[in-house]
Amino acid sequence: MAHIEVIAEYNERGAMLWADSYPGAFSRGETVSKALEKFPKALSEYAQWAHGAPLPNLAESDFVITHAYKSDLQVEDADSDVLFPSERLPMDMTEYTQKKQLCIRSAQDFEKLLNSIPQKDRALRKSRRTFYGKIPCSAREMADHTNRTLSYYANGLGIAFENEGGLLENRKRLFRAIEATPNFLLPRVHEASDGELWTLRKLLRRLLWHDRIHAYALWRHAITFWQKDRIQNPFFFSAEK
């Protein structure tokens, strides 16, 4: 198979890798090399969810890092601001609709996972603080945190948006707000108030990624408290590292 192009964000504390052609797929590690070791499994699971079939027999040699960005952010805690070169390119309505549908399905699957957890206010992991404050510890806190980021992402595109309702309902409202923006498909680069650069392509990737990173944490911790077959796994996660 052709090499899969990878973008790396890294510093001396950690690394995060992204697949340019699989928005939402990622892996993390203490170094770029450690993250690359995890990427075949992470990408295959993502492809199973997004496209209905895993990518079999992937190896580290199937990936090529085309862009590497040294970051001042807390990459080890999944802090990210990279804008891919490809995310500056135009997008047509067909591509937008496909990615929008993935983002809607991701919210649906997150809620399916959440609804399968018996005690949504039970702490599933120890509390600690990161760059965005106290990490969410219960299922409800993880879902609320995932939902709250939508206004931040929308504001990155210059869209005034207030969070209302659950994750799926709020996600649909976000897309209505995006589509109400004149010429929303034009490849404009927006600079947020904190200096981060955003495009519509980046927002769609970040929605999928943010759902997935918190859904994995939710699923992984939940199966340590309840039987594995009781907890829904619509994202096709596996417990193996």
Write down the pTM of the prediction.
Answer: 0.94
Q: What is the DSSP letter of 173?
A: H
> pLDDT by residue (tens digit) across 54-105?
888 899 889 999 999 999 999 988 899 999 999 999 999 999 999 999 999 9
237 belongs to a structural domain: no
- Domain shared by 143 and 92, yes or no: yes
Q: How many domains does the chain have?
A: 2
Domain end call among 65, 82, 99: 82
pLDDT in the model for residue 98 = 97
48 belongs to a structural domain: yes
CA distance 216 to 63: 23
Q: Band the pLDDT of 236: cuts 50, 70, 90.
A: very high
Domain end call among 41, 61, 82: 82
Strands 133-134 and 190-191: unpaired
* Choice between 190 and 131, residue whose per-residue pLDDT is larger: 190
- Domain shared by 205 and 109, yes or no: yes
- Domain around 124: 86-230
- Domain shared by 203 and 173, yes or no: yes
CA distance 197 to 186: 15
241 belongs to a structural domain: no
Does 136 score more than 80 pLDDT? yes
CATH number, position 137? 1.20.120.450
- Domain shared by 203 and 121, yes or no: yes
Does 241 score more than 90 pLDDT? no
Mean pLDDT of 196-221: 96
